[in-house]
Amino acid sequence: MGVELDRDGGIHADDSLDELKALAQSAGATVTGTVRQKLKEIDSRTFVGRGKAAETRELALRNEASLAIFDDALSPAQARNLERELNLRVIDRSQLILDIFAQRARTLEGKLQVEIAQLVYLQPRLTRQWTHLSRQTGGSGSSGGRIGTRGPGETQLEVDRRRVRERLARLRTRLKGVERTRAIQRQRRIDVPYPTVALVGYTNSGKSTLMNALTGAGVEAADRPFSTLDPTVRRLLLPGRTQVMLVDTVGFIHRLPHSLIDAFKATLEEVRTAGLLLHVADASSPLCWERMEIVDQVLEEIGAGATPRLIVMNKIDRLTDGMLPPRAPDTIAVSALRSQGLDELRGAMARFFSAQRQEVRVVLPMDRGDLIALARREGEVLSEEYGDGIVSMHAVVTPPVAGRLRQAQIAEKV
């Protein structure tokens, strides 16, 4: 069910509802009907109008539906009232997305993050009526009826809020431990020291396919939302000997639940600390630009709004008329699937990093041959003079290497 409100901007209600349908199917549901309503104002009690609710109840009965999914965020009270009006279990888009994440989570970190997000979402909804209704309709047997009941849903709805709070605290402590390991891994990478490039974009835009095409990483790429939850990192060699670490991570979507963004802070840290973002967009989607705006908003929200980025227009093989959507000058057109345009993309990344190269003049202890070798390998050494137990060097290197050299210097070269 979706509503079109007068004040709606961005993604149109119909497109949003289509996306919701695809999400529901990908979660294992069979969609037996869609309902939409144009509203001036929402009904604060039941979100949609009374007439619409009655109509939906009829439709659900006819189609033997066991679940209603709302495209808009419902307050806990609205969801409860709607369950009563529709005589159906009711969830909203957030809960559906949380459910899909729960299905996709593979690693301990991913599972912890999703469960935290689910519990945070459920916390205000833990009331007696809700529990009662969930029990009544939850066990209907069809796979669609199970959506929103996986993970903590079924078990935790039956415990009281205090125990949920306790569980949340425990999960957060465990997650902290896991995050620490990730932070150490990231630190090691910074020490390496290659710049990090993060793939970002709307879910299903082809980030993982591009990762595989560029690095042969063998990351799972599938035609379904959120197949990637956990970050994968691979080394990528660019023209001009620049090495970078390429990170593939979770995609974004219209109305991504806040509890998820919060819970995935550590995963998204990979994006926040990257030196360059590749914003991968599905150029074959009619909603390409609207989706790019949503991605920009989420990037802003997680503190990566100012990170430099290259815009990668993917799936150009699907553009029958060979026309890209009207585009900004700095975009690179590729087909990750057919490995088209990848040289141009590598070139653009290399140009970005070579423009970022810095001149450094440092005096190093003689025994830091490793750093001199690093500067030679990762940059260009313009001069090196050996003196009394010291080497003074003038080089042009990437920012991470420059940082390493300055850290180890005993004096600035004059």
Contact partner at residue 203 from Mg ion, ligand GDP, none, CB < 5 to 8 Å by partner kind = ligand GDP
Residue 285 site contact among Mg ion, ligand GDP, none (CB < 5 to 8 Å, cut-off depends on kind)? none
Please say whether the beta carbons of 85 and 53 come within 8 A.
Answer: yes
Pairing of strands 67-70, 36-39: unpaired
Write b or e for each residue in 76-109: b if 16 or more Cβ atoms lie within 10 A of its Cβ, otherwise e: bbbbbbbbebbebbbbbbbbbbbbbbbbbbeeeb
Residue pair 267/200 in contact by the 8 Å Cβ criterion: no
Pairing type for strands 243-248 and 276-282 reads: unpaired
What is the contact surface with ligand GDP in residues (CB under 6 A)? 201, 203-209, 221-223, 227-228, 251, 314-315, 317-318, 335-337
Q: Select 80 or 315, whichever has its Cβ closest to ligand GDP.
A: 315
Nearer to ligand GDP, 56 or 204 (CB): 204
User: Which positions lie near Mg ion, rule CB under 5 A?
Assistant: 207-208, 228
* Closest among 80, 101, 75, 100 to 90, alpha carbons compared: 80
Minimum gap (Å) between residue 216 Cβ and ligand GDP? 14
3-class secondary structure, 401 = helix
Compute the least distance from the CB of residue 217 to Mg ion, in Å.
11
- Give which of Mg ion, ligand GDP, none residue 6 binds (C-beta under 5 to 8 Å, depending on kind): none
Selection from 90, 93, 100 nearest residue 19 by Cα: 93
In the complex, the smallest distance separating the C-beta of residue 215 from Mg ion, rounded to whole angstroms, is: 14
Cβ distance to ligand GDP smaller for residue 79 or 221: 221
Cβ proximity to ligand GDP, 26 vs 392, nearer residue = 26
Question: What's the closest the beta carbon of residue 129 comes to ligand GDP, in angstroms?
Answer: 37
DSSP-assigned letters across all residues of 206-266: SHHHHHHHHH-------SSTT---S-EEEEEEPGGG-EEEEEE---B-TT--HHHHHHTHH
Report the largest interatomic distance among the alpha carbons of the chain, rounded to a whole angstrom. 90
* Residue 398 binding result from ligand GDP, Mg ion, none, given CB thresholds of 5 to 8 Å by partner type: none
Using DSSP, state whether 280 is helix, strand or coil: strand
Q: Which does 80 bind (CB under 5 to 8 A by kind): ligand GDP, Mg ion, none?
A: none
With CB under 5 to 8 Å by kind, the binding choice for 26 among ligand GDP, Mg ion, none is none
Identify which of residues 243 and 339 has a Cβ nearer to ligand GDP in the complex. Answer: 339
Give the nearer residue to ligand GDP in terms of CB position, either 13 or 198: 198
Q: Which is nearer to ligand GDP, 138 or 251 (CB)?
A: 251
Minimal distance, residue 227 CB to ligand GDP, in Å: 5
